[in-house]
Amino acid sequence: MKQLIALNINDNVYEVPVDPRDLLVDVIRKKVGLTGTKKGCGLGDCGACTVLIDGSPVLSCITLAIACQGKKITTIEGLVENSGRLHPVQQSFIDHGAVQCGFCTPGMILTAKALLDRSSRPTLEEIKRGISGNICRCTGYKKIVEAISAAGETISQEGVK
């Protein structure tokens, strides 16, 4: 029996009918229609499904949608400012060649944003550790790490959040 729940996604409230067993990634992708969040493995092993819940990166493929009521969910679609300007992490990924096939990108960017929200000048080791829950098979991580570091610098200087 489906239940109508309210999910706050990117500061918009969506009323969606869900079954308790529905996973957040499927509700976001199929019921709300935001397909930026990706499914790479379905078991929480790759990080492609990463979304932010109350600012913390979590794996939406092993999160129940029904358990997310009253929380603030951020998906990749929520990073672009209303003016259309990209978040510094997004811009940095483009500028540094950190995007190849793009499938890991939404999850990776959200994890990076959360990392930089905590500390905008992380060390190389802190960055590597911070994104180690996001698998990328294309880039070898090097340009991703560089992009994150550079975005951190931009954020430090501009005071952007």
Partner 1 sequence: MFLNHFNYFAPQSAAEVLDLLGRLGSRAKMLAGGTDLLVLMKDKVLAPEYLIDIANIAEFKGIAYEPGKGAVIGAATKIAEIEHSAIIREKYFALHQAAGALGSVQIRNMATIGGNSCNASPAAETPTPLVALGAEVVLASLTGERKLPLEQFILDNRKTALAEGEILTKFILPEPAPRSAGRYSYIGLRDAMEIDAVNMAVNLVLEEDDLTLKDLKLVMGSVAPRPLVSVEVPGLLSGREFSDTLVHEASRAASGEATPISDIRASAEYRQEVVAVLARRLLYEAFAAAKEV
Partner 2 sequence: MGRQNHTEVGRSVPRLDAPEKVKGEAIYTDDMVLPRMVYGKIKRSPYAHALIKSIDYSNALAMPGVLAVITGDEAPNKWGIVPQAANEVALALDKVRFCGEGVAAVAAVDEETAEAALDLIEVEYEPLPVLLDPFESMDRAGEVLIHEDAPDNILHTGEQLFGDPDQAFAGCAYVLEREFHTSYVNHAFLEPHSSLASFDPQSGKLHLWSSNQVPHYLHRQLSIVLELPMNKIRVTLPTVGGGFGGKGEAGPTDFCAALLSRKTGRPVKVTFERNEVFFTNKGRHPCHMKMKIGLDKDGYIQAVDFDNVLDGGAYSGWGMVVMFYTASMIHLPYRVPNARARVRRVYTNKPTCGAMRGLGGVQPRFAMECMLDEMAEMIGISPYELKLKNAVESGYRSVSNLYVPHSEYKKCLQTAVEKSGYLDKHGKLPYGKGIGLAGGYYISGTAYTLYQSYKPHTTVLIRIDTEGGVTVHCAAADIGQGCNTVIAQMAAEALGVHYEDVHVVSGDTELGTFDLGSFASRVTYGSGVAIKEAAAEINQKLKEVAAGMTGCRADQLVVKDRRFYSVFEPRKAVEWEKVVDVYTNSVGTLTGIGHFSPPRLKGIDLARGERVQGANIGHSPTFGFSCQIWEVDVDLETGKIRVDRVTEAGDCGQPVNPMSVEGQVEGSILFAMGQALFEEMKLDPEGKMINPTLHDYKVPTAMELPEINATIVDSYDPTAPFGVKESGEGPVQPTIPAIVNAVYDAIGIRFTDLPLTPEKVLKALKEKKAAE
The site for partner 2 (CB under 8 A) is made up of 29, 33-43, 45-46, 48, 75-77, 79-80, 86, 90-91, 93-97, 99-106, 109, 127-129, 131-145
Kindly tell me which of 40 and 70 has the beta carbon lying closer to partner 2: 40
- 117 makes contact with partner 1 (CB under 8 A): no
Residue 145 is encoded by which pair of tokens? 């790490």
Binding site partner of 32, from partner 1, partner 2, none, Cβ cut-off 5-8 A by kind: none
Among 7, 23, 76, 151, binds partner 1 (CB under 8 A): 23
Of residues 113, 110, 120, 130, the one with CA closest to residue 157: 120
Distance in angstroms (rounded) separating the CA atoms of residues 62 and 23: 7
Query: Does 78 sit near partner 1 (CB under 8 A)?
Result: no
In this structure, what are the phi and psi dihedrals at residue 15, rounded to the nearest 5 degrees? Answer: -100, 115
- Binding-site size, partner 1 (CB under 8 A): 30
Please choose which of partner 1, partner 2, none residue 58 contacts, taking the beta carbon within 5 to 8 angstroms, the exact cut-off set by kind. partner 1
Q: Which of 27, 58, 76, 104 binds partner 1 (CB under 8 A)?
A: 58
Residue with smaller CB distance to partner 1, 76 or 114: 114
**Which among partner 1, partner 2, none contacts residue 93 (Cβ within 5 to 8 A by kind)?**
partner 2
Tell me whether residue 70 or residue 129 sits nearer to partner 2 (CB atom). Answer: 129
Instruction: In whole angstroms, give the CA distance from residue 144 to residue 97.
Output: 8
* 57 contributes a contact to partner 1 by CB under 8 A: yes
How many Å apart are CA 29 and CA 3, to the nearest integer?
Answer: 18
C-alpha neighbours within 13 Å on the C-beta side of residue 97: 5
